[in-house]
């Protein structure tokens, strides 16, 4: 068993983000065999980049009500919602509210 606390991981702001505190909780430092778990805190007015990539990811909204922007339109999310983002699906998470949004994102472990 390996345990990591949110406060144990240094946050960063990945390229293309605005107002994002990103923490890779279960990733390279823990070396899980199949998946990485990351947490995003998005400040009011903040967003992730609008992008696509070859891998899927699963997102769980823990706090706040972000919208996810897709090619097909926008979808409002609320705490407790889970989202499956397909490989190569254009997406962006936007916090257009007044409080911090927190979501957990799980991706397949990158191939070495």
Is the separation of the CB atoms in 68 and 74 below 8 Å? Answer: yes
Task: Tell me what pLDDT residue 106 has.
Answer: 98
d(CA 85, CA 62): 17
Residue 11 lies in a domain: no
Is the separation of the CB atoms in 14 and 20 below 8 Å? Answer: yes
pLDDT tens per residue across span 16-56: 999 999 999 999 999 999 999 999 999 999 999 999 999 99
Residue 65 lies in a domain: yes
Q: What's the CATH number where 71 sits?
A: 2.60.120.10
Residue 51 lies in a domain: yes
Q: Residue 72's Cα: distance from chain center in Å?
A: 20
Inform me whether the pLDDT recorded for 10 exceeds 90: yes
Residue 75 lies in a domain: yes
d(CA 1, CA 68): 33
Is pLDDT larger for residue 35 or for residue 112? 35
Residue 5 lies in a domain: no
Residue 55 lies in a domain: yes
Residue 14 lies in a domain: no
Residues 10, 62, 97, 5, Cα dihedral to 10°? -20
Confidence of residue 111 (pLDDT cuts 50, 70, 90): confident
Range of the domain at 70: 22-108
pLDDT tens per residue across span 59-107: 999 999 999 999 999 999 999 999 999 999 999 999 999 999 999 999 9
Number of domains in the chain: 1
* DSSP state letter for 98: S
């Amino acid at each position: 068993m390996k345990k990591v606390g949110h406060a144990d991981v240094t946050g960063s702001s990945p390229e293309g983000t605005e107002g994002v505190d990103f923490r890779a909780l279960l990733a390279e430092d823990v070396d899980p065999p199949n998946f990485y778990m990351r947490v995003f805190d998005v400040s009011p007015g903040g967003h992730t980049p609008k992008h696509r990539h070859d891998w899927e990811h699963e997102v769980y909204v823990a706090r706040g009500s972000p919208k996810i922007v897709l090619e097909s339109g926008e979808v409002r999310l609320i705490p407790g919602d889970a989202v499956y983002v397909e490989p190569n699906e254009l997406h962006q998470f936007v916090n257009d509210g007044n409080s911090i949004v927190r979501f957990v994102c799980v991706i397949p472990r990158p191939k070495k």
